[in-house]
Amino acid sequence: MVSPIEEAIGRMIEVGFFDVLAFVLFLAIFYAIFRKSGILGASPIINGAIALVLSFFIFLYPFLTGFSLIKNLAIFFTQASVWILMFLIIFLLASFFYPNLPQILTSVFKGPAALYVIIGIGIVLIITSGLISVMWKGVVAEPRDIIILTVGIIIFIVLIMIASRVVAG
């Protein structure tokens, strides 16, 4: 038996509601990047116009390739939310035992160590969500064991980098 929520989500998928949400999401992301970086200057009109054009290209992607980004983006953002929630809980619990946790973290993650950790987590999220297949227009389906092996190696490397930074600290 299908619940009313599942039926409503199915109808929204049929009419392309989530494609429009992806368009709006990328429009906001591109505009924020252009405005913050100043690559295109300070004009909000130019930043908005270029962001709008790039968002339309992403909106056009499923029609050109026959591969929808919506499922993979939903998986990516769900997994990223779980990672963020996990780190928040870990930091909250650690702050009970270390009252000066922000100072400890800033001393441990000086330099490129934090960047490496974030890049490692980002790569893991991109691989596990299936967004890596977007590079090949959705025609390459990675075998599950290769994905698990790749993610395991990346997590291992990130953990070794964290451990070496903490020990050298």
Where in the chain are the domains? Answer: 1-66, 68-169
Q: pLDDT tens digits for 120-145?
A: 788 877 777 777 766 655 444 556 66
Closest to 160 measured CA to CA, from 120, 128, 111, 101: 120
Range among 70-74, 128-132, 164-168 with highest mean pLDDT value: 70-74
Q: Contact, 71 vs 138, CB < 8 A?
A: no
Q: pLDDT band at 159, cuts 50/70/90?
A: confident
